């Protein structure tokens, strides 16, 4: 596991990368990562991903108590729910990325698996993506909704709000988030075009070969 100093730098690096590529804008989005001692480093509330300061990241101890840094994101209940229900989670990323949000607003989107099976990579990196209902930002009920999934989903999309992804480390979480957004973009581009998605048999092959959670 990365040292805390290295992890602070990693958070700022990946946040700036997401910001520079237009995957989050203004002061939107938040991310967190597990530290060596079982605590968390979290992006502060109202902070732009384009100019985070490693020294000012919010720090929580292993008991979940805020101990230093700027005031943390108001979405802490959302992050905590993923860490509590998915013991393999080492990082959580939440964005307001355009295509994922747009897909969440369409009336015929599937709640139990928002993304159509267009590519093997979305299945490999995300498994099934749960669509959750709308919650007012910062509402602890968002965390309750994630807990209600009992750890069965590594990625969700909050309707009219944005995607949230948990993974083993920060790099994996960012890559999975990028895959989610690009697949949502594909789904919107191809909507109504009669695109040929993966068959059930092809999905099963991917799930088996890469040991994907798919229930």
For residue 215, pLDDT over 90 is answered with: no
Q: Classify domain 4-209 by CATH architecture.
A: 3-Layer(aba) Sandwich (3.40)
The domain limits of the chain are: 4-209
pLDDT in tens, 162-176: 999 999 999 999 999
pLDDT in tens, 112-141: 999 999 999 999 999 999 999 999 999 999
**Structure tokens belonging to residue 43:** 């992006």
Q: What pLDDT does residue 174 have?
A: 97
Q: State the pTM of this model.
A: 0.96
Q: What pLDDT does residue 201 have?
A: 97
Q: Which of 155, 160, 154, 146 is nearest to 104 (CA)?
A: 160
Average pLDDT, stretch 57-73? 96
Helix (H) / strand (E) element for 175: namely helix 170-189
Among candidate residues 121, 175, 210, 214, the one labeled active-site is: 121
121: annotated active-site residue: yes
Average pLDDT, stretch 45-61? 97
For residue 152, pLDDT over 80 is answered with: yes
Q: Cα(44)–Cα(214) distance, rounded to whole angstroms?
A: 33
């Amino acid at each position: 596991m990365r040292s805390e100093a290295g992890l602070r730098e990693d958070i700022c690096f990946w946040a700036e990368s997401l910001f520079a590529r237009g995957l989050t804008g203004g002061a939107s989005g938040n991310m967190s990562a597990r530290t060596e001692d079982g605590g968390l480093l979290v992006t502060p509330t109202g902070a732009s991903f384009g100019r985070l300061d490693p020294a000012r990241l919010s720090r929580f101890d292993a008991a979940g108590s805020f101990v230093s840094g700027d005031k943390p994101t108001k979405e802490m209940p959302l992050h905590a729910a993923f860490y509590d229900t998915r013991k393999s989670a080492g990082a959580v990323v939440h964005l307001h990325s355009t295509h994922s949000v747009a897909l969440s607003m369409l009336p015929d989107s599937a709640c139990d698996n928002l993304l159509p099976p267009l590519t093997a990579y979305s299945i490999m990196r995300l498994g099934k993506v749960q669509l959750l209902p709308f919650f007012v930002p910062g509402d602890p009920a968002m965390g309750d909704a994630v807990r209600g999934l009992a750890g069965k989903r590594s990625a969700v999309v909050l309707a009219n709000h944005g995607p949230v992804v948990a993974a083993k480390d920060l790099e994996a979480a960012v890559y999975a988030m990028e895959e989610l957004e690009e697949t949502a973009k594909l789904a919107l581009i191809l909507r109504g075009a009669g695109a040929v998605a993966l068959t059930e048999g092809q999905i099963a092959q991917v799930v088996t070969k890469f040991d994907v959670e798919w229930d």
